[in-house]
Structure 1
Amino acid sequence: MFFNSLAFAIFLPIVFFLYWFVFNKNKSTQNALLIVASYYFYSCWDWRFLFLLVFSTFLDYYTGIQIEKGKSESSRKFWFWLSIIVNLGFLGVFKYYNFFASSFSELVSSAGFKASPILLNVILPVGISFYTFHGLSYVIDIYFKRIKAEYNFVDYSLFVSYFPLLVAGPIERATHLLPEIKVKREFDFEKAKEGICQIIWGLVKKIVIADTCAVYANAIFDNYNTVNSASLILGAVYFAFQIYGDFSGYSDIALGVSKLFGLDLLRNFNYPYFSRDIAEFWRRWHISLSSWFRDYLYIPLGGSKGGLWMKVRNTFIIFVVSGFWHGANWTYIVWGFINAVYFLPLLLSNSNRNNMDAIILKFNFDSAKVIFSILYTFSLICIAWVFFRAKTITDAVLYLKRIITNGEFSSQYLENERYNHELLLLIALFVLVEWYSRAKIEPLSGRYNILKIALAIVAIIAFGTYSDYKEFIYFQF
C-alpha cells in the first residue's frame, strides 16, 4: 500500500476515525488499533513477511528485558550479541547473501577457477533495513544503560511497527518515540492542520516533482550512450530532484500522518540542496540515518577524538557502510566512498562544522560566495548520484566520461511525456518555493495557506492523472 494510492486514501480516514472516536478511551486501545492497522498496512505487500516483522519485534523485546535483568556481564553480553547477530543475520541473508555469493564467484572466476554460486530466490522484505535498525538501537541503548527495557509488549510492538515509518523511515529511537507512545494523546486541531499541510506537500514532492523527473531521468540513464552532454547533465539533475522529492516526500507524509494521531516523528530532511558544503548536506539529508551511524558506529569507533588516522578511518567506514546499507551493489559502496572523499578535506581542515548557521542572503560579496558554495556542493552531489542511480560502476563511469568527451550542449529532445523547458521551469518553481520556506517545516502553512493548499491539490491531481510511476525509491532499501 503506497502513500500515494487510492487504497491509502481510504485506509487513513478509517484508522483516523476509529482512533479518535471509537478507541479513544485510553492509550492502550489506541496503541492496539495502530498495531493492527500497521500489520494490515505491511501485509498489503506480502503477508508472509509479517511473520519476520513479528519475530524481530519479539526477539528485541525479550532480549532487551533479559539484558536489563542480567545479573552478570557475561549474561548481558550473551543476550545483547544474540539480538545483534540474529538481526544482522536476517538482514544479511535477505539483502546481502546473493551479493556476496555473486561477488565471490566473480572473484574466483577471474582467478581461472570455475564457480557456481548457490543463490537464494527470495525477494527483499520491504522495510527490513528500517525496522531492523529500530530494534538494534533499542537493544544497544539498553545494553549501555541509556534507557530501561520496555515491559509492555503492545507499546514496544507499536514502536517497531508503526505504519507511517515502517517501510521507509525515518529511523526512530526508543528514547524519542516510546515516551510518546506510553502517554495518552489528546486531539490537537492545530497539530492536525500541520499534519495535513505536510501530507499535501509530501504528495507534491512525490507526484509533481519526483514522478515527473523520473520519466526523463529514466529515459536519459537508460540511453546515456546516445544522448549529448547537455542531456546527461540534465539527467543527473533530474535524478537528484527525483530522489529528493521521492524520499523527502515520503518522510513528509509519514510525519504528517503521525501528527494526525498526536505523535511526532524525527525530522528526516531539512532542505538539503541548500547546503554550503558536504558536511552540511549530511546534516540535512536523511537525518535519522546519518545520526544513527554517528551515534551507533562513528562514536563507538572513536569518533574524532583519536589521531588523524582514526578520524579518516572512521569517516570512510561510516560512509561506505552507509552506502552498503542502501543496497547490495558495488555502485552504492562507491557512492558512499565518493561522499567520504568529498568530506575528507573538511575533516582535515577542521571545517566540517563551519556552516551551522541559517542561510541569510544580502546584496554583497559574501552572499555571492554562499550561492557559489550551494551550487558547487549541489554539483558534487549530482556527480555522486550518478553512481547511486547507475546499474553498474561501468555505466556510471561511462555516463560521466560521455559528459566530458561528447561536448555537445545543444537542446536535445527525448521522446517522453515531458519537454525539457517545462520540467526545468517546474524544478525552478519548486526550488523557489522551498527557498522562501526554508525556515519552516513545509511551505503550505502561514499566510495564504488556503490558496497554497488549493493550488497544491490541483497540481497533485493534474500530474497524478498522467503519471503511472507509483513506487517510492527507498522501498527497495
Structure 2
Amino acid sequence: MLFNSISFLLFLPIVFAIYWIVNKRSLELQNILLLVASYFFYACWDWRFLFLLIFSTALDYFTGLKMHDAKNQNLKTFWFWLSIGINLGFLGVFKYYNFFAESLAEALSKIGFHASFWTLEVILPVGISFYTFHGLSYVIDIYKNRIEPERNMVTYSLFVSYFPLLVAGPIERATHLLPQIKKQRIFSYQLAVQGVKQIIWGLFKKVVVADNCAFFVNQIFENSSSHSATELWMGMFLFSFQIYGDFSGYSDIALGTSKLFGIDLLRNFNFPYFSRDIADFWRRWHISLSSWFRDYVYIPLGGSQGSKAMQLRNVMVIFLLSGFWHGANWTFIFWGLLHALLFIPLLISNKNRASISDTKYNFKAYSKIALTFVLVSMAWIFFRANTITEAFQYFGGMFDFHSLSANYFYKNSKYALLTLISSVAILFLILIEWKNVTKGNQEVRLSKWTIFVLLFMLFCMGTYRNQMSFIYFQF
C-alpha cells in the first residue's frame, strides 16, 4: 500500500476514526488497533514477509527480557549476540548474500579460478533495513543499560511495526517512541491540522516534484550515451530533486500521518540542499540514519577522539557502511566513499562543524551552498547508475561539450509540458523551503493560500493516476 495510492486514502481515515473512538475506552485497545492496522498495511505488500517481521519482533522482545534478567554478564552477552547475529543474518541473506556470492565469483575468475556459487531467488522484504535497525537499537540500548526492556508485547510490537514509519523510516529510537506509545493520547485539532498540511506537502514533493522528474531521469540514465552534455547535466540535477522529493516526501507523509494519531516521529530532513558543506549536508539528510550510525558505530569506534588517523578511519567506516546500507551494489559503496573523501578535508582542517555557527546569508554562504549542491548532485550519479562503469560513462559524457543541445526536453509537446511542470514544481519547492530556512523554521510552515496552491498543483500537475513507488522502498 503506497502513501500516494487510493487505497491509502481510504485506509487512513478509517483507522483514524476508529482509533479516536476506541481511545475513550482503553489505551491498550488503541495500541492493538494500531498494531493490527500496521500488520495489515505491511501485509498489503506481501503477506508472507509479515511472518519475518513478527519473528524479528518476537526475537528482540524475548532477548531484551533475557538480557535484563540475566544472572551474569556472560549470559547477558550470549543473548545480546544471539539477537544481533540473527537480525544481521536475515538482513545479510535477503539483501547481501547474492552480492557477496557474485562478487567473490567475479574476483576469483580474474585470478584464474572459475567458481560457481548458489544464488537465491528471493524478493527483498520491504522495509527490512528499517525495522531491523529499530530492533538493533533497542537491543543495544538494553545491553548498554540505557533502557529497561518493554514487557508489554503489544507495546513493543507497535514500536517496531508502527505503519507510518515501517517501510521507509524514519529510524526510531525506543527512548523516543516507546514512552509515547505507553501514555494516553488526547486528540488535538491543531496537531491534526499540522499533520494534514505536512501530508499535503509530502504528497506535493513526491507526486508533483519527484514523479515528474522521474520521467526524464529514467530515460536519461538508462541511455546516457545518446544524450548531450547539457541533457546529462539536467538529468543529474533532476535526479537530485527526484530523490529528495521522493524520500523527504515520504518522511513528511509519515510524520504528518503520525501527528493525526498524536504521536511525534523523529525529523528526518532539515533542508539539506541549503547545506554549506558535506558535513552540514549529513546533519540535514536522512537524519535518523546518520544519527544511528553516529551513536551505534562511530562513537563506539572512538568518534572524533584519538589521533587523526583513527578519526579518518572512523569516518571512512561510517560512510562506507552508510553506502552499503542503501543497497547491495558497488555503486552505493562508491557513493559512500565519495562522501567520505569530501568530508575528510573538513575533518583534517577541523572545519567539519564550522557551518553550525555560520548562520549568515551572504555571497560567501550562497557560494558554499551552490558548491555543496553540485558536489552532492555529482555523487548522486553513482547512487542512481546501475554499475560503476555506467556512472563513469555518464560523468564523462557531462564534460563532452561537442553537443550542448537540449532537444530531448523539447522534441514534442508532451516532453515540453513535462519540462515546464518539473521546472515550476522545483522552483516552488525551492522558494517555499528557502522562505522557511531563512526564518529559522524547523519544518515547513504553510499558509492557507499555499495549501490551496499545493492542492491545485497536485490535481493539475501530479501523477496521482500513475502511482510510482518510493525509491527508498528498495532499501
Q: Does 1:381 align with 2:376?
A: yes
Q: CA distance change for structure 1 residues 245 and 286 in 2, over 3 Å: closer, same or farther?
A: same
Q: Counterpart of 2:470 in structure 1: which amino acid?
A: F
Name the counterpart of 1:7. 7
> How far apart, CA to CA, are the structure 2 residues paired with 1:59 and 1:380?
42
Q: CA deviation at 1:466?
A: 6.9
Q: Which letter maps to 2:298? A: Y
> What is the rounded CA distance, in whole Å, between the counterparts of 2:415 and 2:247 in structure 1?
22
The 5 A counterparts of 1:403-418 are 403-414=398-409, 417-418=414-415
Query: What is aligned with 2:285?
Result: 285
* TM-score, reference length from structure 1: 0.96
Match of 2:434 in 1: 435
Q: CA deviation at 1:465?
A: 4.8
Contact 2:150 2:156 in 1 (8 A): yes
Deviation at 1:409, TM superposition (A): 2.4
Equivalent pair of 2:212/2:462 in contact (CA under 8 Å) = no
State the partner residue of 1:212: 212
Structure 1 segments unaligned to the other structure (5+ residues): 362-366
* Superposition pairs of residues 5-154 of structure 1, within 5 angstroms: 5-154=5-154
Distance 1:17 1:123, change over 3 A: same
**What corresponds to 1:368 in structure 2?**
363
Show the counterpart of 2:462: 464
Write the distance in 2 (CA, Å) between the matches of 1:209 and 1:441: 21
Deviations 1:112-154 (A, max 9, x none): 2222221101100000000000000000000000011110111
- Tell me the alpha carbon deviations over residues 303-346 of structure 1, each in whole angstroms, 9 at most, x when there is no partner: 11010111000000000000000000000000000000000000
Aligned counterpart, 1:364: none
2:448 counterpart residue number: 450
Matched residue, 1:252: 252
Of residues 222-231 and 410-419 in structure 1, the stretch that sits farther from structure 2 once superposed is: 410-419
* TM-score, normalised with respect to structure 2: 0.96
1:440 partner letter: N
- 1:458 maps to amino acid: F
CA shift, 1:430, in A, is: 1.8
Deviations 1:178-229 (A, max 9, x none): 0000000000111111101100000000001000111111111112101111
| 8 Å contact from structure 2 (residues 202, 248) kept in 1 | yes
User: Partners in 1 of 2:283 and 2:368 — Cα distance?
Assistant: 16
Partner amino acid for 1:475?
F
Letter in 1 for 2:347: L
Same amino acid, percent of matched pairs: 58
Q: How does 1:140-179 map to 2 (within 5 A)?
A: 140-179=140-179
1:212/1:467 contact within 8 Å kept:
no
Distance across 1 between alignment mates of 2:300 and 2:171: 19
- Residues 38, 161 of structure 1: 8 Å contact kept: yes
Distance (whole Å) between structure 2 residues aligned to residue 422 and residue 140 of structure 1: 47
Query: What letter is aligned with 2:321?
Result: V
113-122 or 230-239, larger mean C-alpha shift: 113-122
Q: How many corresponding residue pairs?
A: 469
Gaps of 5+ in 2: none
Distance in 2 (CA, whole Å) between partners of 1:220 and 1:451 is 36
C-alpha RMSD of matched pairs (Å)? 1.4
Verify the 8 A CA contact 2:208 2:422 in the aligned structure 1: no
> Cα offset for 1:422?
4.7
Structure 2 letter corresponding to 1:402: G
2:212–2:421 CA contact under 8 A, matched in 1:
no
| SS of corresponding position for 1:164 | coil
How has the CA–CA distance of structure 1 residues 465 and 247 changed in structure 2, closer, same or farther, with 3 Å as cutoff? closer
Q: Distance in 1 between matches of 2:72 and 2:238?
A: 56
Residue aligned with 1:316, SS: helix
